[in-house]
Amino acid sequence: MAKSKLEYIWLDGYKPTQSLRSKTKIENNFSGKLEDLDMWSFDGSSTQQAEGGSSDCLLKPVYVCPDPARRDGYLVMCEVLNADGTPHESNGRATIDDDDNDFWFGFEQEYFLWDPETNKPLGFPANGFPEPQGPYYCSVGAKNAYGREIIEEHMDLCIDAGLNIEGINAEVAAGQWEFQMFAKGAKQAGDEIWLGRYILERLGEKYGVAINWHCKPLGELDWNGSGMHANFSNTVLRTAGNKAAYDTICQSFAPFVKEHIEVYGADNHMRLTGKHETASIHDFSYGVSDRGASIRIPIAVVEKGWKGWLEDRRPNSAADPYKVAARIIKTVKTANV
């Protein structure tokens, strides 16, 4: 009788930033198919999702893939439900209005590899700072690239899990990296980013390195923050063929700045300053090839005759991709195109 290790993964109820939780279930002769996974439960009173007197929350499997770090293992991404089967208030995935998968998302997930002993990024001396940023972006060599063995292994694990990871690169600050995920369908895009984060967190345990998702872990110092740029399209954007459609959709974001910032990650005021390739948190702007705008229209869109996608540069590295996607979809659907 074959035994499989099913790692049920969910988001807790901590505010303003949710964390990943997981536990293992041993199953006999598991087929590897989502439809053959059972609901499970957990103690919500230990995760800020229920009171002790009525503590059971439900785990509804929504995505499954092989666990590349375990023999006979699977990673099971779950939604959290209340005991009566309704979505828990912490369940951002349930708020996504994209049942036909018309929206495609590509998330660019930035993060810092963090040394728990020095409480600084890898590459930062215990006392003082490395050379100013400049040589670290897409860098090569031990003088400028720190922790490559971790991010290379993470990439391989994501590929082995069957996730649609599209690339990795060193970012602007020392010890800062990025991976990109893409999916046709907002819910799956969120699933894959969360699983990519989970695999990275678990890999960090192996190396004794923490993953810092905060958008500005170095505070007011002159170092870039971390974002999770959201590249998105729907049928209109992919087939528009004219600038007017793009202008209309971009302009539809202007009345909803507050609503977007509310779900684009905690402490984003520290990152969205108008410096370090960001727009001000208080403003809204868009432009072709403009990394200082709220929304960038990629130059490739223009070259392809106004057919392609948009990049919202405001979501930060700790934002919930489910909530980001849900808000973008809601806004785009207000555009009269």
User: 25 CB contacts (<8 Å, ≥6 apart)?
Assistant: 5, 6, 8, 40
270 and 151 inside one domain: yes
On whether both 136 and 253 belong to a single domain, the answer is yes
Q: What is the predicted pLDDT for the residue at 27?
A: 97
pLDDT band at 215 (very low <50, low <70, confident <90, very high): very high
Assess whether 41 and 150 both reside in one domain.
no
Q: Are residues 34 and 128 in the same domain?
A: no
> Is there a single domain that holds both residue 76 and residue 112?
no
Average pLDDT for the chain = 96
Domain boundary (66, 91, 116) is at: 91
User: Which pLDDT belongs to residue 309?
Assistant: 98
Question: What is the pLDDT confidence band of residue 52, given thresholds at 50, 70 and 90?
Answer: confident
275: pLDDT strictly greater than 90? no
116 pLDDT exceeds 80? yes
Same domain, 169 and 266: yes
Q: What pTM was computed for the model?
A: 0.96
pLDDT of residue 66: 98
Q: At what angle do helices 186-207 and 148-161 cross, to 10 degrees?
A: 140
Judgement on whether residues 271 and 127 belong to the same structural domain of the protein: yes
Tally of domains in the chain:
2
For residues 38 and 111, state if they share a domain: no
CATH number at residue 22: 3.10.20.70
In angstroms, the CA 309 to CA 246 distance is 9
CA distance 251 to 257: 11
3-class secondary structure, 202: helix
User: Do 73 and 131 fall within a single domain?
Assistant: no
Average pLDDT over residues 98-110: 97
Same domain, 162 and 195: yes
What are 137-159's pLDDT values in tens digits? 999 999 999 999 999 999 999 99
Give the pLDDT score at 220.
Answer: 79
221 pLDDT band, cuts 50/70/90, is confident
Position with higher pLDDT, 276 vs 51: 51
Q: Tell me the residue range of the domain where 135 lies.
A: 104-332
DSSP 3-state of 24:
strand
Q: Does 97 map to a domain? A: no
Distance from first CA to last CA of the chain, Å, rounded?
Answer: 56
Whether the per-residue pLDDT at 276 is higher than 80: the answer is no
Distance CA 240, CA 223 (A): 38
Four-point Cα dihedral 275, 251, 104, 195, nearest 10: 40
